[in-house]
Amino acid sequence: MAMVIGLVLVLGLGGFLYLDRASKKPPPEPPPLTGEARAYAGKLKLTNVEMNAHESYLKQSVVEIVGNIQNVGDRVVKTVEIKCVFYDAYGQVVLRERVPIVSPRIGAVAPEQIKAFRLPFDNVPESWNQVMPQLVMAGIEFK
């Protein structure tokens, strides 16, 4: 009976350690832009992009980037993801986050259409230099 209890404890501890290690592993990086998407990225224009900060109800600082995306190409775009890169005063990256500005939930962007977007960030470190982050096209999917 003692051996069975010992075996169950060892297996339980091994399972716990395996799951704990697996949960701490960062998710895999999404694939880079395809050649087709890279060629089309120049036909998606970000306009009227502004940044502001305010305090949330929980007394957290929230940085918000708002603007418009315009599709000047000839294809319907189902998804557009932007990589926002925040820097500190020394030019070092303090936060890099990939966020969707067009998604199936929001709706696709047809040719010549303009859609508004809003990107809230409540996890920007205090060492951030308070300058507009670098916005880079990171993913484009077509309908």
Q: What confidence category does residue 32 fall into, taking pLDDT thresholds of 50, 70 and 90?
A: confident
Would you state the pLDDT for residue 86?
95
Q: Which of 83, 82, 89 is nearest to 128 (CA)?
A: 89
Q: What's at 126, amino acid-wise? A: E
Per-residue tokens: 52: 């502001």
Choices 2.60.40, 1.10.8, 1.25.40, 3.40.50: CATH for 35-142: 2.60.40
Q: Locate tokens 């890169």: which residue?
A: 85
What is the spatial distance between Cα 44 and Cα 3, in angstroms, rounded to a whole number? 65
What pTM, to 2 d.p., does this model score?
Answer: 0.72
- Provide the CB-side half-sphere exposure for 125 (13 A, CA): 14
CA distances (Å), origin 96, targets 29, 35, 80, 99, 124 = 12, 23, 17, 10, 9
User: Do residues 69 and 49 touch, judged by C-beta distance below 8 A?
Assistant: no
Q: Give the end-to-end CA distance of the chain in Å, rounded to a whole number.
A: 62
* Long-range contacts, 38-42 (Cβ 8 Å, 24+): 40/73, 40/75, 40/77, 40/140, 40/142, 41/137, 41/140
The answer to which of 10-19, 25-34, 47-56 has the lowest mean pLDDT is: 25-34
pLDDT of the residue at 25: 79
The two three-digit tokens of residue 73, written as one number: 């190409």
Residues in the chain: 143
pLDDT tens-digit profile of 52-111? 887 767 677 888 999 999 999 999 999 999 999 999 999 999 999 999 999 888 889 999
